[in-house]
Amino acid sequence: MSDRRFAAAAAMILAIAMVAPAPTAHAEDEGILRVYMNSARVLKLDRPVSKVIVGNAEVADATVADSKTIVLTGRSYGTTNLVLLDADGNAIVDERILVSIDEASTVRVFKSTARTVLSCTPNCEEHAQTGATP
């Protein structure tokens, strides 16, 4: 392929990449608020909240910092939901919450068919174990 044809093909690919939509998340990932266990996430709202409802307070906790700011804290691994209502009872937020471990701070140990996941923040502690036990 000549340099001119190669440059034209590269320019066309670049142009297509610039206008093509970005890949979308899986449908199951849409509409989920993610927070790590023992970590907080700040939610800024466009209008004041009047009522805060968490489906399972053992999984996550929501604290009102001010009328337009909610602090969401992951308490335990799992899923629940968060509903925020305004003074008229209209839903400001109605989302699922996924509380998970910070994958960046985990170590997986494989021994034959057994797998152990250690959460290392700052000391390593066993998070999960699957498969055969030694």
* Segment 59-97, tens digit of pLDDT: 999 999 999 999 999 998 899 999 999 999 999 999 999
The encoded tokens of residue 106 equal 């985990």
Task: Kindly state whether residues 33 and 90 are assigned to the same domain.
Answer: yes
Task: Kindly state whether residues 87 and 123 are assigned to the same domain.
Answer: no
Strands 124-130 and 114-120: what pairing?
antiparallel
Residue 44 CB neighbour total at 10 angstroms = 8
Task: Kindly state whether residues 91 and 118 are assigned to the same domain.
Answer: no
Strands (E), the chain: 32-36, 40-44, 51-54, 60-66, 69-74, 78-85, 91-100, 106-111, 114-120, 124-130
Task: Kindly state whether residues 95 and 40 are assigned to the same domain.
Answer: yes
Task: Tell me the H-state helices in 1-134.
Answer: 3-19
Task: Kindly state whether residues 80 and 65 are assigned to the same domain.
Answer: yes
Query: What whole-number distance in Å separates Cα of residue 91 and Cα of residue 133?
Result: 47
pLDDT score for 107: 73
In a domain, 124, yes or no: yes
* Segment 17-57, tens digit of pLDDT: 334 333 333 334 467 889 988 889 999 999 999 999 999 99
